[in-house]
Amino acid sequence: MATNLDGPGVAEGIRARNPQVIQAVIRTYLPQVRRAARGAGLAPDQADDVVQETFTTFVETAPRFQGRSHVRTWLFGILYRKIAERRRHLDREQRMDDVDDVIESRFDVAGSWSQPPRPADSALLDREVRKQIEKCLDTCTTRYRMAFLLREVEGLSTREICEILDVTATNLGVMLYRVRNRLRECLEAEGAWGKTRR
C-alpha cells in the first residue's frame, strides 16, 4: 500500500509507529539518506552503519515527531548528527581557512576574481575528477561538507538545510562560500581544474 508522506495523518502515523507509515518513510528516503551518508566521505561500511543508526534513531524517536518540519528534513537532521558523531569519533575535523585569507588570494582590490574560475566542462563527469572532488571534500569539516552536499547533491532548500544544520541563512551562505572556495583551491592545486600551484 502506497502512503502519501505529505498527506494528512502522516505525523500521527509516525508518532504511533504505524508499520505502514514507518516502512513507507524508510522505503522512500533510504536511497537519499544512503547517498548523503556516502557523500559525506565516510568509508562505505561506516556510511552503512550511519544509515542504519539514522533509521534506528528515527524509529526510536518517532513518538516525539511533531510534524512541524517535513519528515525528510527530520531524517536528514538525524543523519547529520550521526555523521557528526562518527566524525568526532574518528577525529577528522579540520580547520577551515579564514574568509580574509580566501578573499585576499582570490579577489583583486576591486573585488573581481584574480583569476576567474574556469567553466565546468565534461571533465567533471570523469571518474578521476569525481574522485578528486571527493578527496578535496574530505579536507572539509563535516558541517561544511554536509552543507555542500545537501545543497549541490540533494538539492535541498536553504530553509531545510538551515533547519538540519541548525544555522542561519547567513551562516549557511558563508559556509557554502568557504567550501566552494576550498574545493576550487584543492582542485586547482591538484591540477584537476584551472591553474596549478607552483
99-189, which class in CATH? mainly alpha
- How many Cβ atoms are within 10 Å of 36's Cβ, its own excluded? 25
Predicted local distance difference test score (pLDDT) of residue 191: 72
Contact 162, 151 (CB under 8 A): no
Predicted local distance difference test score (pLDDT) of residue 188: 85
CA 102, 107, 108, 111 torsion: positive or negative? negative
CATH code assigned to 10-90: 1.10.1740.10
pLDDT along the chain (198 residues), means of 10: 67 92 94 90 88 95 90 92 82 49 66 64 60 84 89 88 92 92 86 54
Contact 192, 132 (CB under 8 A): yes
Q: What are phi and psi of 107, to 5 degrees?
A: -125, 150
Q: Measured between alpha carbons, how far is 191 from 189 in angstroms, rounded to an integer?
A: 5
Contact 5, 14 (CB under 8 A): no
Q: How many CA atoms lie within 13 A of 152 on its CB side?
A: 17
Domain positions in the chain? 10-90, 99-189
Predicted local distance difference test score (pLDDT) of residue 140: 86
